[in-house]
Amino acid sequence: MMAAAGTGNVYQSFVRMPRNVEVKARVHNWAHTLKECKNLSESTGEIIAQRDVFFNTQCGRLKLRDFKDGQGQLIYYERPDLLGPKLSNYAISNTADPQGLEEVLTQALGIRGSVVKERLLFLVGQTRIHMDRVQDLGDFVELEVVLTDSQTPDDGQHIANNLMKSLGIAPEDLLTGAYVDLLQKDKGK
């Protein structure tokens, strides 16, 4: 039952953002990592061309992902810049006009940077494994363990750690931040 206007009762709705535990690492032996991803997923993977445009924000990261086929996604996420498995909260909205949306967001927020990559997607249980070839940056692997509502970040870290072992991801290969951060660091920004 709703309270009458002016009674001072305020209803707030809490929307829980989807969560995942993410790992990002440099790949030194593409052929070996690709073979392991194919074995774990029992598939050849799906090739996805992507251009991500990152916009200036006060907190978190906001990017527009253009799939180069007339489709895109606006993605906002909050994730600490730490090595190893880390919790990421995110929200995604699909768009059929990524170019138009990019123009509006550029005018409103300004562009922080962009990332062009070819991604191979593999699904292993509740984990999305991305093998990324990032223009001007190199080869990487990302693990995204998508958590259910009943799972804790520790559950996701356990799954990620097991996959890291299976893929031979060494601690010294782990990275912090997003690809745009690495590109800007390489350019001395």
Q: Locate the domains of the chain by residue range.
A: 19-186
3-state helix, strand, coil in the chain (%, to 5): 25, 40, 35
- First-residue to last-residue Cα distance in the chain: 55
> How far apart (Å, rounded) are the C-alpha atoms in residues 184 and 43?
34
pLDDT at 175: 94
> How far apart (Å, rounded) are the C-alpha atoms in residues 46 and 114?
22
- CB neighbour class for 16 (10 Å; exposed up to 12, middle 13-18, buried from 19): exposed
Residue 67: pLDDT over 60: yes
Q: Count CA atoms closer than 13 A to 119's CA, side-chain side.
A: 22
Work out the pLDDT band at 185, boundaries 50, 70, 90. Answer: confident
Read off the amino acid at residue 161. Answer: N
Residue 126: pLDDT over 60: yes
Residue 3: pLDDT over 70: no
pLDDT at 74: 97
Fold of 19-186: Hypothetical Protein Pfu-838710-001 (2.40.320)
pLDDT at 186: 76
Average of per-residue pLDDT across 72-85 = 93
Residue whose C-alpha is closest to residue 60's, from 47, 46, 38, 76: 76
CB 88 within 8 A of CB 77: yes
Residue 109: pLDDT over 90: yes
> How far apart (Å, rounded) are the C-alpha atoms in residues 73 and 143?
19
pLDDT tens-place string over residues 148-182: 999 999 999 999 999 999 999 999 999 999 999 99
Residue 56: pLDDT over 60: yes
Higher pLDDT, 4 or 104: 104
pLDDT at 163: 97
One DSSP character per residue, 142-176 reads EEEEEPPTT--HHHHHHHHHHHHHHHT--GGGB--
Helix (H, G, I), strand (E, B) or coil at 78: strand
What is the average pLDDT value for the chain, to the nearest integer? 91
